[in-house]
Structures are given as structure tokens and as C-alpha cells.
Amino acid sequence: MKSAVAEGAQVVIPKALQDRFGNRTGTTLDFVEERGRLVAVKAAAKDAVAEVYGILRLGRSTDALMRELRGEPDAIDPRPGPGLRRKRGRR
């Protein structure tokens, strides 16, 4: 199948190849040169989380952020509660 390079270096992919490879509007292709040939390869889908991971700069530690969001932890009573008292067993 043939296709001409149009103005602006655009190339139309023949319909049969679009259907065969599942290329739809918005599909991103990477173009590489292999042994003197131009090869179009579907770009790998990007992970949405990976795209934004690490871009937020808070200027404080995670512990400080968690204290801000959750507040200070409640004080822990060192005495065992009613259900935690040791039972006196027979000797």
C-alpha cells in the first residue's frame, strides 16, 4: 500500500492498516529508522500516575505533612483497658 507525504510532512495511513493495527484518531506513533527504513510503532500507553509522580514539591517531610493533615496523635494510656487486664490464674 502506498501513501504520499502531504504538505507539512503529513502521511495518511491507509484505512486497511489503521483497522488492522487499531489506529484511531489520537493514536500516538513513534517513528524510528531501522536499516534505512522508516518504521512507525505505536507509542506505549503512559501510566497516569507515573506521569505525575514526584512533581509535587511540598517543602516539608512526609511526617510533617501527615501531622498537618491528621493532627497530633492521641496520647496513649499505658494502663491496660478493661479487656486487656491480666487474669489471675490458679497456681
Cα 40 from Cα 2, distance rounded (Å): 14
Amino acid 61: pLDDT: 86
Burial class of residue 23 in the structure, from the number of CB atoms within 10 Å of its CB (0-12 exposed, 13-18 middle, 19+ buried): middle
Relative to beta strand 37-42, strand 29-34 is antiparallel
pLDDT along the chain (91 residues), means of 10: 88 90 88 92 82 80 87 75 62 57
Nearest to 23 by CA among 36, 4, 42: 42
Q: Where are the beta strands (DSSP E) in 1-91?
A: 29-34, 37-42
Nearest to 14 by CA among 6, 29, 4: 4
Amino acid 19: pLDDT: 92
Q: Domain limits of the chain?
A: 7-42
